[in-house]
Structure 1
Amino acid sequence: MIEETETIDEFLARHSADVEEAVRKAAAAEILPRFRRLADHEIDQKSGPHDLVTDADRNAEQYLTEALGALLPGSVVVGEEAVHTNPVVYEAIQGDAPVWIVDPVDGTRQFVHGDPGFCTLVALAQGGDVLASWTYAPASDQLATAIRGQGAFLDGERLYSGAPEPVRDLQVATSHPDYTTDEQKRALLGLWTDGVAPRACGSAGLEYLAVARGELDATAFSWEAAWDHAAGLLLVEEAGGAHLTRTGEPFRIRGGNQLPFTAARDAATARRVAELLSAS
């Protein structure tokens, strides 16, 4: 629990491991027992057949909401499922209080289909700045963490994204066309050019982890939901990468971004992808 005079930096120094434990416990209690064992009544649609929610999503978010709120009194939790139920919850990101941004199962479609490509995302932000993040892939038991100014780590090993090899096409994970406007589709078409190899994205959190590890060169995403991006953007930054919107500005978790935007292994690649997205 945070002390009355403790800063957020001091809180993270004392409690980062406690957040990690809460994330692991939520997955162990609510997600992994349902992986490849989901009953039909545990799966629902939200906005359509590609937008799914399960009991694992709901229960893991509730677990994390209680655990993280207890660790940091006065903080607010903005979780994907809570916002779906009550969109007003999302407005807490605009406030001054510390905010836990939670996606209990990022890649729910993969989770439902028994694919291990899903993760749990937690970020701590304040005043629009992401201060710390946790990306946990339960199926492989891999945990990536980042604290602003202190680097990015995967299972305790420092991550360095590095620069792409100049002799090959840039590998870029992009938004699925079903989730883009006509204008965004035109912008994304800029990636279909010589020297770039775009592909459809999977779990956003795992795509960010791939960028931070230097396994993927860049992303090009067309939506703003902070629970999908906050944790991964800090992870990429702390690994040496960068993120830019079509207007050449860093992505803001508080919104108002010119979409699509990119996160990339290095600043030069981010600029190149942002320019391609702006070409239309």
Structure 2
Amino acid sequence: MSKDRMISFPDPAAVIDIMRETAEAVILPRFKSLESGDIQEKTGPEDLVTIADIESERRMTPILRDLLPGSSVVGEEAVAADPAVLDNLTADAPAWIIDPVDGTRNFTKGNSKFCVMVGLVHKRQPVLGFILDPLGERCAFAVRGEGAWMCGYDGKEERLSVLAPRPSSKMRGALNFRFLPSPLKEEMKERAETEVGDHFRFGCAGHEYLSLLTGEAHFAMHPKNMPWDHVAGSLMHQEAGGFHARFNKRPYYPDQLDGGLLMAPDEASWDDLREKLWP
């Protein structure tokens, strides 16, 4: 990684250390060990929060803020308690974005598809992004303008790149229809069965982004743009050579919570997928 950046942000290794220490201290000890009182509903039975989410965000918030003096923090659980915290996304100061446990429902079920995500936004642009897979002992990260990398717990780093484009019928990817309105949802599901190749859903945006970065998938679609789900991954995807945009093909900004996101290997394949999936 280049040490000379136009803007001085923290060393990625320092952020990865914070995420690893947090996962080892408060997340992994609770994996497959949650008690009934450790899980709560937020907006409903599909929207859960655990003691691991709460404690990991609480632990990382002051440490990240101290790592970059003058920065703010936008955590998923902090926003759940006070939506005004989202205003930090459009402030002049850099803002850390924390998803303390992405894939919380998987985590509560003992499913290994969960991760920790941290991003840094400055002037509405993602500039740093991290996805920690603690069970896989790996962390993907990206620095704006410098590429995307996978760092193993053994210290080895590998540069990441997206798969080469293919016709949509031969691509594999993640499709999330959950927040689409009817009848659009049903129509898109039907088109997906005939117009695109194999598709899946992990229930964890972070692992779906990892699949784009490690040669397991060509594309991903998400109807909802919560910043903690997409700031880190969208930057990595871009730095790995991919193309992404909102469903109307306008650029993605972290403060825009609607409009969806579609990821593809390049712009031409994005156009192809957009045409094939939407009625």
Calculate the TM-score normalised by the size of structure 1.
0.89
State whether residues 32 and 108 of structure 2, in contact with CA within 8 Å, keep that contact through their aligned partners in structure 1. yes
- Residue identity opposite 2:31 in structure 1: F
- What corresponds to 1:206 in structure 2? 207
Match of 2:9 among 2, 7, 11: 11
What letter is aligned with 2:244? Answer: H
Contact 1:217 1:264 in 2 (8 A): yes
CA contact (8 A) 2:169 2:195 kept: no
Inter-CA distance 268–213: structure 2 relative to 1 (3 Å threshold): farther
1:275 corresponds to 2:275:
yes
Residue 225 (structure 1) aligns with: 226
Match of 2:41 in 1: 45
Match of 2:55 in 1: 59
Within-5 A mapping of 1:47-196: 47-155=43-151, 156-165=157-166, 169-177=170-178, 179-182=179-182, 185=185, 188-189=188-189, 190-196=191-197
Aligned to 1:197: 198
Distance 1:108 1:268, change over 3 A: same
Q: Which AA in structure 2 matches 1:20? A: I
- The 3 A distance-change label for structure 1 pair 140 and 234 is same
Q: 1:7 to 1:147 in 2, by over 3 A?
A: closer
CA distance in structure 2 between the partners assigned to 1:110 and 1:8 by the alignment? 39
Post-superposition offset of 1:171: 1.4
| Residues 175 and 199, structure 2, Cα contact 8 Å, conserved in 1 | yes
1:165 CA displacement: 4.8
SS at match of 2:116: strand
Q: Is the 8 A contact 1:251 1:257 kept in 2?
A: no
Secondary structure at the counterpart of residue 41 of structure 2 = strand
What is the one-letter code of the residue matched to 1:158?
A: R
Shift of 1:138: 0.9
Q: Given the two structures, how large is their TM-score scaled by the length of structure 2?
A: 0.90
Paired residues, number = 270
Letter of the 1:120 counterpart: V
Identical pairs, percent: 36
Which structure 2 residue ranges, 5 or more long, are not aligned? 152-156
Shift of 1:163: 1.0
Kept in 2, the 8 Å contact 1:176–1:200? The answer is: no
In 1, the alpha carbon distance for the partners of 2:39 and 2:27 equals 13
Q: Letter of the 1:21 partner, please give it.
A: D
Match of 1:35 in 2: 31
